Structure 1
Amino acid sequence: MTWRIKMLSLLICFVSCKKRTKPHYDVLKKPVTTPLGYYSTKHLIESEDLKVLNTSSNIKIIDFRKPEAFLKAHLDHAINIWRTDIEDDTFPYKGIMASRAKIEALFSKLGIKNEDELIIYDENGACDASRLWWILKNYGFDNVKILNGGLTAWEHKGGALTSDIMSYNTSSFRLPSNENMSLYADLKDIKSLVVDDNTILLDTRTGNEFSGKRQKRGASRGGRIPNSVLLDWAEAIEFNTTKKFKSYKDLLDLYESKGITKEKKVYVYCHSGVRSAHTTFVLTELLGYKNVKNYDGSWIEWSYNKDLPIEQDTITTLFK
């Protein structure tokens, strides 16, 4: 009789286990996809994993695009945030990251809670999404994942879109008290920076911006910060196909080919700190670099201050 009871218990246990076919929130911690050898995937999620992720009250999907693009089509249950929502508008130029108070007010209005896990996507190879990740990282909020490849990769994997607008209740969101500004650099930091064999100032814009031929809207002058090294942010992704990050080996080879190695201090900038936030994500999260800082004001701020030196290789002829 005893052995029959044991066998019956084992059978019930086996059947119960077989019924648990759907993963729950654990899918964020145990992805079903194979990472490309990255140093860390803590802040990265693949489309395959997001597709099988059960709806959960503590997961918020952030569509980081212009509102008009969001209204046309977006992921189900997504919340729309754009660059202007997370900028400090008290400066005479654009692009500076918003204050803690502004982020808290925005998230409270959108119903985001302290315990929520945010999944951010865009349609620009995670460039814009990385800016929000970087700001939240500075303020100590770590529950963030970027959708690798964004909308491009999502649609490539057959992910569904909708035009339905989600309604949500407000919340009382508060950023953690322990700020982590280890990835942050301001104008004072760059003005006092000494570029040498151990320190690199990395410009992640296009070649035309770097040379001074092109002056984008918001900048007061064309050119670059003296002693900069150029490496376009888009080199880090499969730009013409999936817009996903390249593999660990390809990324490491790319940066090391420019002398950007792990033992060096790297200060990154672009036009307004967005593309350079993407490079900061690649270097710190995917490659494991320990000494990387993103210059918040970037070229817009530097070019605004007429007393600061610049370098140019050509006359500025292209404007936007």
Structure 2
Amino acid sequence: MSWKIKIAVLTILFWSCKEHRASDTLASYGDYVIEANELMALIEHPNIKILDFRKNNLYNKGHIAKAINISRDDIEDGSYPYSGVMARKSQIEELFSKLGINSDDTVIVYDDSGMCEASRLWWILQNYNFKNIKLLNGGFLSWVDINGETSTENPVIKPTNFKFPANSLMNYYISKEELLEVQKSNVIIIDTRTLDEYSGKHQKHGASKAGRIPNSIHVDWADNIYFNGDKRLKPIEEIRKNYDKLDLKNTDFIILYCHSGVRSAHTTFVLTQLLGFKNVKNYDGSWVEWSYHNDLPVDIDML
């Protein structure tokens, strides 16, 4: 992030915290979350690029002014026989170049699904060592709520030559092969899907079979947001209670998965950035990949 944007953010934080100390602000959610009023103060900065991660038809009906629409397909590697695998580094570089994003820009991403889609992009960029990203708490509706400027026009894009830093961190990533290596060791596996998916009662489209990875524990990702409300993050202490029952230590080796690594990317963000866990990995292929391979073990409840 450029020093000018950092100064602008710190200034906004000071006044935001001064006026709203009883509420959750960017300061309480860490460096990667931005509130709508904070975005409004920064939106004209030339190094701010805004990505709309909603369905294209919703984007066309109205979006944050200057936002560019992207889809999940844009950040997936389509070479696999199943969907959901993280896009290659070169693929994201090509995408960002086409979107007019520079390597020193700050990317603001929003969705309408409780930061779920946005968190998947955050997770990918973290693995490729790009830190200049912020997630809009409350998504598009939070922008509408403060009467932020919206548009139905596509912004004019000037292509760039976006490049990630040379060293990829892959610090929140784990593959199927790596998961198999550590599965029987002292590792905690958390399934972040719905209870019906976890039990095997519901087989979501894209999975080859119903069930779960053996020895996994269920904690629904949606418990961390007001899922049936404005889809904002819950207060951190309330989020923490969702995991207190697991008696976790912040150094425990935790592996997360869901259907295709999207909801579990959200929980990766929650555990690492909000709750301070140090050793968290998101299984990229998740259940879609695991269920595809008939030689891998599966647990399912007797329904």
TM-score norm. by structure 2 comes to 0.91
Counting matched residue pairs gives: 292
Q: Equivalent residue for 1:27?
A: 8
RMSD after superposition: 1.9
Q: Equivalent residue for 2:235?
A: 247
The 3-state SS of whatever aligns with 2:119 is helix
CA distance in 1, matches of 2:151, 2:249: 43
Q: 2:141 aligns with which of 152, 176, 195?
A: 152
Measured after TM superposition, the shift of residue 154 of structure 1 is: 2.1
Verify: 1:275 aligned to 2:256, yes or no: no
The amino acid across from 1:93 in the alignment is Y
CA distance in 1, matches of 2:207, 2:250: 31
| 1:289-304 pair list within 5 angstroms | 289-304=277-292
Is the contact between residue 64 and residue 143 of structure 2 (CA under 8 Å) also seen in structure 1? no
CA distance in 2, matches of 1:266, 1:29: 32
Measured after TM superposition, the shift of residue 256 of structure 1 is: 1.4
Q: Equivalent residue for 1:50?
A: 39
CA distance in 1, matches of 2:6, 2:187: 41
Q: Equivalent residue for 1:191?
A: 180
Is the contact between residue 126 and residue 171 of structure 2 (CA under 8 Å) also seen in structure 1? no
Q: Equivalent residue for 1:67?
A: 56
Which stretch shifts more, 241-250 or 214-223? 241-250
Structure 2 stretches lacking a partner, 5+ long: 18-22
Change beyond 3 A, Cα 1:45–1:134: same
CA distance in 1, matches of 2:124, 2:298: 27
The 3-state SS of whatever aligns with 1:118 is strand
Measured after TM superposition, the shift of residue 260 of structure 1 is: 3.6
The amino acid across from 1:272 in the alignment is S
Q: Equivalent residue for 2:20?
A: none
Which entry has the higher C-alpha Rg, 1 or 2? 1
| 1:124-203 pair list within 5 angstroms | 124-194=113-183, 198-203=186-191
CA distance in 2, matches of 1:167, 1:25: 26
Is the contact between residue 200 and residue 266 of structure 1 (CA under 8 Å) also seen in structure 2? yes
Measured after TM superposition, the shift of residue 157 of structure 1 is: 2.9
Q: Equivalent residue for 1:82?
A: 71
Measured after TM superposition, the shift of residue 96 of structure 1 is: 0.4
Measured after TM superposition, the shift of residue 40 of structure 1 is: 5.5
Measured after TM superposition, the shift of residue 131 of structure 1 is: 0.3
Q: Equivalent residue for 1:204?
A: 192
Verify: 1:99 aligned to 2:82, yes or no: no
TM-score norm. by structure 1 comes to 0.86
The amino acid across from 2:231 in the alignment is K
CA distance in 2, matches of 1:172, 1:29: 29
Which stretch shifts more, 252-261 or 78-87? 252-261
Q: Equivalent residue for 1:232?
A: 220
Is the contact between residue 25 and residue 54 of structure 1 (CA under 8 Å) also seen in structure 2? no
Give per-residue Cα distances to partners, 1:145-175, cap 9 Å, x unaligned.
0001111322233333221111111111111
Verify: 1:259 aligned to 2:247, yes or no: yes
